[in-house]
Amino acid sequence: MATIPTELFQELAHKTGSKIVLVVCDGLGGLPHPETGKTELETARTPNLDALAGRSTLGYAELVGLGITPGSGPGHLAMFGYDPVRYQVGRGALSAVGVNFPIRPDDVAARMNFCTLDENGLLVDRRAGRIPTELCERLTRKLQDQVTLPGVELFVRPEMDYRGVVVLRGEGLSDRVSDSDPQVVGVAPLEIEPLVPEEERTAELANAFISRAREVLADEHPANGVLLRGFAKPPHLPSVDELYKLNAAAIAVYPMYRGLASLAGMEVLPTGKTMQDELATLRENWDRYDFFFVHFKYTDSAGEDGDFDRKVRVVEEIDGLIPRILELEPDVLAITGDHSTPSILKAHSWHPVPFLLYSKWCLPDEVDRFTERAARRGSLGHFHASEAMGLMLANALKLLKYGA
Amino acid sequence: MATIPTELFQELAHKTGSKIVLVVCDGLGGLPHPETGKTELETARTPNLDALAGRSTLGYAELVGLGITPGSGPGHLAMFGYDPVRYQVGRGALSAVGVNFPIRPDDVAARMNFCTLDENGLLVDRRAGRIPTELCERLTRKLQDQVTLPGVELFVRPEMDYRGVVVLRGEGLSDRVSDSDPQVVGVAPLEIEPLVPEEERTAELANAFISRAREVLADEHPANGVLLRGFAKPPHLPSVDELYKLNAAAIAVYPMYRGLASLAGMEVLPTGKTMQDELATLRENWDRYDFFFVHFKYTDSAGEDGDFDRKVRVVEEIDGLIPRILELEPDVLAITGDHSTPSILKAHSWHPVPFLLYSKWCLPDEVDRFTERAARRGSLGHFHASEAMGLMLANALKLLKYGA
């Protein structure tokens, strides 16, 4: 089906008081357990989701394209209504926005991992024994204070555990440079090299940073070095306000998802660490926004850990939260994922995700569960996730008629 | 749904030891028999395909686009992952590669049919009484030996029966010239004409060849003339290795399909004349490749002949071969067609084809047959065949994650 040009939405979207809630359960889709033949969603007891499915329109949402396993960036961008092939968010940029760093269009950001190097400079541990966040914070501060680079501003920020972000700001920087992380241990980190000949300066600066970092961290253990990868400038995303006239808020615990929402122009609300905290934040801010992106992380974590039963329990926990969302009487409630993370694969996968849209104005499908296979039978069929935004807006009566 | 740019696959594809088998049953799709209301696939007893369908993901694959009846070229290119509108393979080029002629980018090839002309030069038989391949071989050799053209190299090669190939090699040749085959008898063959004004030289050379051929064949019967059609240069297809990092082999009895596979950069394996021979070839070469294209011709031949019952029997024969393929434990087995050839139409048709993909990592559909209508209920729905390659690669775990 032809994709609607975004200009058309800009023309048709209008502001109303109606409210949309988009719940993204990270890594929601799964695969059957070898013993039962049932997926995590099919195994879970989900009376609230099932009842809602019976009053909703469902579909099987392709995030990027057939066979493509989406990272969290493309998966979320698609659900926010962006073409995830046109708009790519590099890892560095994602990390920077994730720690609330006010990244500018020409900044170049890279993901930094603390690592352990032996006396010969060979990698012993690419994650420096997964040092705690507190140590990461102290070491990034030390790097920020003691390292300077010629002709550019340098920002070093902690993320979580052994992870941080480095941002370079100055004239003529490029993100077309290679990684220093060799992805294996027992070898020396790689020199950073320009991927196009004229971009040598950024590579030189990055190598200088790594070299200085090693001097500054010489007495630290186990984090006595850094690896850089995923150099990226931020993408130039038009905001959801610009595209859809949405005054949107994001509720997410993890930095990366907060960062993605902020790239899309959503206001990122402070919240706690649990799904219950997130719902409290939703309730408290209910009157202030007309679109809420609510991110639930733990379906993905359980899938990544290969813990089928835990993923089932997280789904059941989410099911228990549905009535609390419905109490708020959203005009549209969409529930879906940003990609599948089948427990039996222990990783993101290429499988589409179930998508459910409830509104007073939807024509309910003849489906009585919220599972991958039930969603496949939904009337949206196998559709592209980036088209979901149009459907959410329409069901919230936020789109005018097209054409006379 | 947005098509994934091939560059993305080039970026994500990586080499693994996993193995993909793509079985293309030529002209697989059909239409209901007027008396029973069942298609050939619905009529056939196919316990193996049905059992496999229950463990697979299915869909109804559109080869080119709604309403477009694909020739074998576009149908196969789509299943190999190419956009069949962007990449067109002319008949002449297809014939040339089909006979293993090492065609070069600037060569111009045409399909040659031996024909029978009466004393007035009018066409009596466009296929020269379907002369046997042996005679075709002798006559093409005679033409090769006795005809020369000014300023170009000429190659004349036999295909099967009354069919051959002519290739012109030299500076400034063009494939923008018309056919000499008038497609009817009782008239004289047509003069070959340039389709654009500046391409006269190729037309002149082709007409000179036809005229000389008539002199050389004057004493032959019934093949005393030749018709040329489908002038074409070879398309510049990036290979499946270049696009998908596949070390691919093709197993096909008929020259055209061998030619198509070779254009896509597959290695064409020597094989016998039967489907059993083809499976023996598959088994013998199992360890040497990671992608196998296996072509079964006879579903199409039966459909073209309008022989419903024979097409049913060929389908049942193919069903009997499925366990032999599964014994090899392919990581991915896809079974489909390159177009439909309904027996009641006696011709290729525009109907999509059933597509089945089995892998350990697919989420099985709730389908228990391998038929056109069962495939429509599959979760892939009505999808574009050129997207199947991505799905095969994904299920063989040959694609990295896209985006951070």
How do residues A66-116 score in pLDDT, each as one tens digit? 999 999 999 999 999 999 999 989 989 989 988 889 899 899 999 999 999
pLDDT for position A1: 42
User: Tens digits of per-residue pLDDT, A45-74?
Assistant: 999 999 999 999 999 999 999 999 999 999
Can you give the residue ranges of every domain in chain B?
6-87+238-395, 94-232
Name the residue among B361, B379, B402 with its Cβ closest to that of A376. Answer: B379
Asked if A39's CB is within 8 angstroms of B363's CB, the reply is yes
Query: Are residues A356 and A45 in contact, defined by beta-carbon separation less than 8 angstroms?
Result: no
B4 — contact with chain A (CB < 8 Å)?
A: yes
Contact indicator for A381, A61 with CB cutoff of 8 Å:
no
Contact B363 A90 (CB under 8 A): no
**CA quadruple B59, B63, B64, B65: dihedral positive or negative?**
negative
How close does chain A come to B292, measured CA to CA in Å? 19
Select from B291, B374, B288 the least CA-distant residue to B23.
Answer: B291
ipTM over 0.85? The verdict is yes
Query: What pTM, to 2 d.p., does this model score?
Result: 0.89
Q: Does B393 touch chain A (CB under 8 A)?
A: yes
DSSP H helices, A266-387, are 275-284, 298-304, 308-326, 372-376
Per-residue pLDDT at B198 exceeds 80: no
Q: Which of residues 24-83 of A touch B (CB under 8 A)?
A: 31-32, 39, 60, 62, 64-74, 83
A 212-251 residues with CB below 8 A of B?
A: 230
**Which candidate from A65, A230, A351 shows the least CB-CB separation from B1?**
A65
Which of left, alpha, beta for B248 (phi over 0: left; psi -120 to 50: alpha)? beta
Rg (C-alpha) for chain A, rounded Å, is 22
- The closest CB to that of A85, out of B4, B364, B365, belongs to B4
Give the strand pairing for B108-117 and B163-169.
antiparallel
C-alpha distance from B82 to closest chain A C-alpha (Å)? 14
Q: Which helix (H) or strand (E) holds B395?
A: helix B388-395
A163 touches chain B (CB under 8 A): no
Length of chain A: 404
CB within 8 A of A38, min separation 6: which ones? A32
Confidence of residue B4 (pLDDT cuts 50, 70, 90): confident
What is the residue whose two structure tokens read 């020739």?
B71
Our CA-based measurement puts residue A69 at a distance from the nearest CA of chain B, in whole angstroms, of 5
φ and ψ at A296, to 5 degrees? Answer: -110, 120
Contact B363 A381 (CB under 8 A): no
pLDDT digits (tens, 9 = 90+) for B203-261: 999 999 999 999 999 999 999 999 999 999 999 899 999 999 999 999 999 888 998 99
Q: Could you read off the pLDDT of B270-287 as tens digits, one per residue? A: 999 999 999 999 999 999
Given the DSSP bridges, would you call strands B332-336 and B20-25 parallel, antiparallel or unpaired? parallel
Q: State how far the Cα of A331 lies from the Cα of A320, in Å rounded to an integer.
A: 20
pLDDT at B79: 97
CA-nearest of A133, A164, A288 to A230 is A164
Q: Which of A66, A89, A350 sits opposite B404 (nearest CB)?
A: A89
Alpha-carbon gap, residue B363 to A26, rounded angstroms: 19
Query: Which architecture characterizes domain B6-87+238-395 according to CATH?
Result: 3-Layer(aba) Sandwich (3.40)
Please give the interface size between A and B, counted as residue pairs whose CB atoms are below 8 Å apart. Answer: 104
pLDDT of residue B1: 42
A67/B393 CB distance under 8 A: yes
- Prior bond of B238 cis (ω within 30°): no
Q: What is the C-alpha separation between A28 and A334, in angstroms, rounded? A: 13
Q: Using CB atoms, pick whichever of B365, B389, B401 lies closest to residue A71.
A: B401
Residue of A nearest to B5 (CA): A85
Question: What CATH class does A6-88+237-395 carry?
Answer: alpha beta
Bridge partners of residue A61, in order along the sequence: A353, A383
Give the pLDDT score at A2. Answer: 52
Give the ranges where A168-199 is alpha helix by DSSP (H). none
The kind and range of the H/E element at B58 are strand B57-62
Render pLDDT for A121-132 as a digit per residue (tens, 0 to 9).
999 999 999 999
Q: Is A91 on the interface with B (CB under 8 A)?
A: yes
> What is the tens place of the pLDDT at every residue in B88-145?
899 999 899 888 898 998 999 999 999 999 999 999 999 999 999 999 999 999 999 9
Determine, for residues A384 and B12 on separate chains, whether the beta-carbon distance falls below 8 Å.
Answer: no
| Contact call for A67 and B403, based on CB within 8 A | no
Contact with chain A for residue B333, Cβ under 8 A: no
Q: Smallest CA–CA separation between A372 and chain B, in Å? A: 9
- Mean pLDDT over residues B53-80, rounded? 96
